[in-house]
């Protein structure tokens, strides 16, 4: 029996526009001219940190899909050559108050639509990237072997990238990350725009090293927008400590 068949036994299956969805748990397989994805999503939200190499879900998926796929954690397997020429592509995971990277960000050199400057961390790994005029997310993902390139924008709390903007590419999984579009537990009808504007303002102040501005924005515009007060407390604690390196990732 195929992997999808093994998981689908005894559960409901819904097919929408070519996307195969299996309820609790779920297996999705998406095929296009450029790539195909195999994704398993547990009934509960996956752990923020990508699963280890010996994750039994990953082993099962690769056994079924073959060596043409690579497991990137959290129930996700992707084509090994996606982007093209990337034998072991990286994958950005965004979870509940968390962000992490599975794999390595490899700089394959400046190119059309990705001509900006890569920056290294203290361990010599590519950590951030300064956007050049004309850059596009897909090309940035291709340059750095990040398969889910559009997630770079969400990770950095923006809808569009701008020249001169410094993008985080390799988040530290031990540091909290604040969701961009709305808190993860936002109720139906939640007003996203005030939340997103406050998140963007916090990010701008963090990159300007303006801790006082961050504290004012949080107190006046953001703290009351979290349905779960514990999530707001995470930010309040970071502001109390005043570590701008941590705050810049939280509001990248």
pTM above 0.85, yes or no: no
Say what the pLDDT of residue 58 is: 77
Residues above pLDDT 90, as percent of the chain:
63
- Is residue 181 situated within a structural domain? no
Residues forming beta bridges with residue 119, ordered by sequence position = 128
Say if residue 108's pLDDT is above 60.
yes
- Is residue 197 situated within a structural domain? yes
List, in sequence order, the alpha helices (H) in the chain: 3-8, 56-65, 137-144, 151-155, 192-207, 211-217, 229-241, 244-250
Residue 241's Cα: distance from chain center in Å? 25
Check if the beta carbon of residue 87 is closer than 8 Å to that of residue 80. Answer: yes
Spatial CB neighbours of 159, under 8 Å, sequence gap ≥ 6:
153
- Is residue 180 situated within a structural domain? no
Which class for 64: exposed (0-12), middle (13-18), buried (19 or more C-beta within 10 A)? middle
- Is residue 227 situated within a structural domain? yes
pLDDT band, very low/low/confident/very high, at 43 (cuts 50, 70, 90): very low
Which of 13, 45, 80 lies at the terminal end of a domain, its last residue?
Answer: 80
Q: In the structure encoding, which two tokens stand for residue 116, read together?
A: 């900006």
- Is residue 154 situated within a structural domain? no
Q: What letter would DSSP give residue 45?
A: P
Apex CA 92: angle with CA 2 and CA 14, to 5°? 40
- Is residue 155 situated within a structural domain? no
Q: In the structure encoding, which two tokens stand for residue 8, read together?
A: 């689908």
> Within a 10 A sphere around the Cβ of 56, how many other Cβ atoms?
8
Cα–Cα distance for residue pair 251/176, rounded to 1 Å: 9
Q: Which domain holds residue 54?
A: 3-80
Which of 63, 80, 97 lies at the terminal end of a domain, its last residue?
Answer: 80
Number of structural domains the chain divides into: 2
Say if residue 11's pLDDT is above 50.
no
- Is residue 177 situated within a structural domain? no
Which of 34, 50, 80 lies at the terminal end of a domain, its last residue?
Answer: 80
211: helix, strand or coil: helix
Question: What does the pLDDT look like over 154-200, one tens digit per residue?
Answer: 999 999 999 999 999 999 999 999 999 999 899 999 989 999 999 99
Say what the pLDDT of residue 54 is: 61
Say if residue 129's pLDDT is above 50.
yes
Which class for 146: exposed (0-12), middle (13-18), buried (19 or more C-beta within 10 A)? buried
Question: What does the pLDDT look like over 91-106, one tens digit per residue?
Answer: 999 998 999 999 999 9
- Is residue 89 situated within a structural domain? no
Check if the beta carbon of residue 10 is closer than 8 Å to that of residue 33. Answer: no
Long-range contacts of 62-66 (CB under 8 A, 24+ apart): 64/2, 64/3, 65/3, 65/38
168: helix, strand or coil: strand
């Amino acid at each position: 029996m195929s992997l999808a068949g093994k998981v689908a036994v005894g559960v409901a299956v819904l097919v929408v526009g070519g996307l195969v969805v299996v309820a609790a748990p779920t297996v999705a397989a998406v095929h296009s001219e450029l790539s195909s994805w195999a994704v398993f999503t547990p009934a509960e939200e996956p752990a923020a940190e990508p699963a280890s190499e010996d994750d039994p879900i990953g082993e099962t998926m690769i056994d079924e899909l073959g060596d043409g796929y690579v497991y990137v954690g959290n129930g996700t397997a992707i084509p090994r050559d996606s982007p093209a020429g990337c034998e072991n592509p990286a994958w950005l995971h965004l979870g509940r108050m968390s962000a992490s990277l599975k794999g390595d960000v490899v700089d394959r050199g400046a190119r059309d639509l990705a001509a900006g400057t890569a920056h290294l961390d203290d361990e010599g790994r590519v950590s951030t990237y300064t956007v050049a005029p004309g850059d596009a997310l897909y090309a940035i993902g291709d340059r750095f072997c990040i398969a889910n390139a559009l997630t770079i924008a969400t990770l950095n709390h923006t809808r569009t990238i701008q020249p001169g903007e410094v993008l985080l590419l390799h988040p530290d999984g031990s540091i909290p990350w604040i969701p961009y579009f709305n808190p993860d537990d936002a109720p139906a009808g939640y007003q996203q725009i005030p939340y997103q504007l406050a998140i963007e303002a916090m990010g701008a102040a963090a990159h300007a090293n303006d801790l006082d501005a961050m504290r004012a924005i949080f107190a006046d515009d953001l703290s009351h927008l979290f349905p779960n007060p514990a999530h707001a407390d995470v930010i309040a604690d970071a502001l109390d400590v005043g570590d701008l390196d941590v705050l810049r990732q939280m509001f990248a």
